[in-house]
Structure 1
């Protein structure tokens, strides 16, 4: 794995990637910027087009590691862009999209044409868009939309930029990084220790899967909230978790071992911690990688404490996650849901022991385990619950 440092949509980003990872997979899987679509994955259809240092580029055939130090703009980064806003309105007005799959790449390429072309020449527009394929529209509406934006801008006196905002020539990433050669050489080495994750930014993301959990403890919310602020104590309560560095109130580095049947994985990563004492709530956003399976995960845990009668507390949890790599093929929602239920139950038990002053057993360091029989029983239990909740109706027809 190699750490890749980019400026993506005007934000600095650094994350590990394999040398074979494409820029498209990097922005989609590492940064959750899924507006960049993958079509042919051969650089033909143009659905994956992004701006690389201001120049349209096929991200599916561009290696992420070759872009180290470059500026990347995806379709999400053009939300406030003036030209793109005009193009979106023109696309809607001229019926220039149907299924919309090609549209992000089409907009990026069209923006480049609006920047460069001196006037609305249909032939030049069609040539300029020949690398962006659409199976729905027949291109007539697209050409009309691009032509109208060019014509309107020139009428307003907006002059074309014949270089289209291009900064440099050469292959992606050639000489653009501001880092010193020695530092680039050091960073190009495969990661040997998980400490590298401490330098990673932990951006917000949109989870692909959501789970809701809750548990109760026989202690008041104030004590529970204080305990949840002790990162080291919380780590002791979670099965399979190990801290890799002294935590701070805002950040923690660690590893978690999980076992799903015969498959075991150890995710090394870091997390950002946020707390709101006024609302008795908090949020933890983390990223992690398992070197053995080359899998990556992003997770978000939101908790809220609800006071109950008798000095008890209910802890409401909202769990969100995204999983990529080999483990994503076996990490089905039912499996993860069962694993999350087990982790929550163990954490609740350990937290109650901690608040009661009872020493934790060393069993909490064992990896969280999930086996096939427990999953089967979970499926049967869910099916029975649904059956009893909604029993089949008797056939009221003639016999």
Structure 2
């Protein structure tokens, strides 16, 4: 076994692997990044394409040990990438996917074309995508999707990048420095504390994969509620499973949220930034976090707006919650269940908020137990279902 130290999706990773292990097997089996697909395993079909030091590479024929010190980006690491976001929307619009098996590698290759081609020339796009095979679509929708993104970006005066930012000739990854002067830098990166990698210096904007709208009321004036939302430590104390790990600042809040889903326990370490607009009594919280144990990552955005009720004596809090979850825990993110869980969590948060503003202590749980919440949700669903059975459709007698 050989210990490999590299960066995967901007996170320092140091794990052991056999010398024969491919990069594709390494990211799938050791990091649970299963968005990288294996097809031919001969470097022909392109389903396994990832970015190696920013350059598209076939991960099925690249040995993981050969990537020592490299920066690897899988499809999961492109969740917040501007070009990939545009391509995803275009693939949907142009019906550029069916079974979706080739899509991760196709998006990585298409991103490279969008960055470097000067115009949306169909022939050059087809040549550029010729290393990515699709058995479903016939490629017409894929080509149109890539064309539309290139045309839109060039119309916005976004110039192509010469060679898509490549600075070295040779195979992907061959531009990495191998001299001894880089060893201290690599050692520092490999030994960086988990909290540093989980709490990046810049909290990026992103496009959420799922958005939920929620609303609750508080028997307090909007000005008082808005002032409460400015007390980050107090707000954190009202959220189940949340704790701060450093003194909060508006531009950067560092913390931890503990989650338990049956036998699975996760602790998402991360950071967030807070934006507020007193003129409209609204604000936004954008955060990012990772769980080292499950190799899962999440990005979240909460937008809130306060609406006066009862002549200003009460407040309606309108929330828009957006999130993207990748890794092992993503398999539990079924929209219907998540929506019901969000309702329960918001109810707990609202209750804690009301108690805090009324002078009582919030009832904060040490960790967010999805099992107990899911049990309540299941009971509520069963009650609704049997209610429809015994009272007729819509609950009417």
TM-score of the aligned structures, taking structure 1 as reference length: 0.66
The 3 A distance-change label for structure 1 pair 18 and 224 is: farther
Q: Match for residue 44 of structure 1?
A: 44
The within-5 A match list for 1:10-159 is: 14-16=10-12, 38=37, 40=39, 42=41, 43-47=43-47, 49=49, 56-58=56-58, 66=68, 68=70, 104=107, 107=110, 131-135=131-135
Mapped contact 1:209–1:320 kept (Cα < 8 A): yes
The 3 A distance-change label for structure 1 pair 165 and 351 is: closer
Q: Match for residue 7 of structure 2?
A: 4
The separation in 2 between residues aligned to 1:277 and 1:267, in whole angstroms, is 30
Q: Match for residue 326 of structure 2?
A: 324
The separation in 2 between residues aligned to 1:136 and 1:259, in whole angstroms, is 40
| Pair 1:271-2:272 in alignment | yes
Task: Give a deviation string over 1:264-314, Cα, whole Å, max 9, x none.
Answer: 322111112111111111111112222232322222111111110151001
The 3 A distance-change label for structure 1 pair 3 and 277 is: farther
Bigger radius of gyration among the two: 1
Mapped contact 1:105–1:132 kept (Cα < 8 A): no
Q: Match for residue 350 of structure 2?
A: 348
The 3 A distance-change label for structure 1 pair 357 and 173 is: farther
Q: Match for residue 382 of structure 2?
A: 380
Q: Match for residue 367 of structure 2?
A: 367
The separation in 1 between residues aligned to 2:163 and 2:264, in whole angstroms, is 56
Query: Aligned residues, how many?
Result: 343
Task: Give a deviation string over 1:221-252, Cα, whole Å, max 9, x none.
Answer: 11101111111111111122111011101211
TM-score of the aligned structures, taking structure 2 as reference length: 0.66
Moved more, 65-74 or 238-247: 65-74
The 3 A distance-change label for structure 1 pair 23 and 254 is: farther
Moved more, 327-336 or 44-53: 44-53
Mapped contact 1:69–1:177 kept (Cα < 8 A): no
Name stretches of at least 5 consecutive residues in structure 1 with no aligned partner.
6-12, 89-94, 144-160, 394-399
Q: Match for residue 252 of structure 1?
A: 253
Mapped contact 1:14–1:200 kept (Cα < 8 A): no
Task: Give a deviation string over 1:313-364, Cα, whole Å, max 9, x none.
Answer: 0111111222222222334334433432332122112211222222x15x41
Q: Match for residue 339 of structure 2?
A: 337
The within-5 A match list for 1:123-202 is: 131-135=131-135, 167-169=168-170, 172=173, 174-176=175-177, 180-189=182-191, 192-202=193-203
**RMSD of aligned residue pairs (Cα, Å):** 5.2
Give the secondary structure class of the aligned counterpart of 1:203.
Answer: coil
The separation in 2 between residues aligned to 1:308 and 1:164, in whole angstroms, is 54
1:220: Cα distance to partner? 0.7
| Pair 1:300-2:301 in alignment | yes
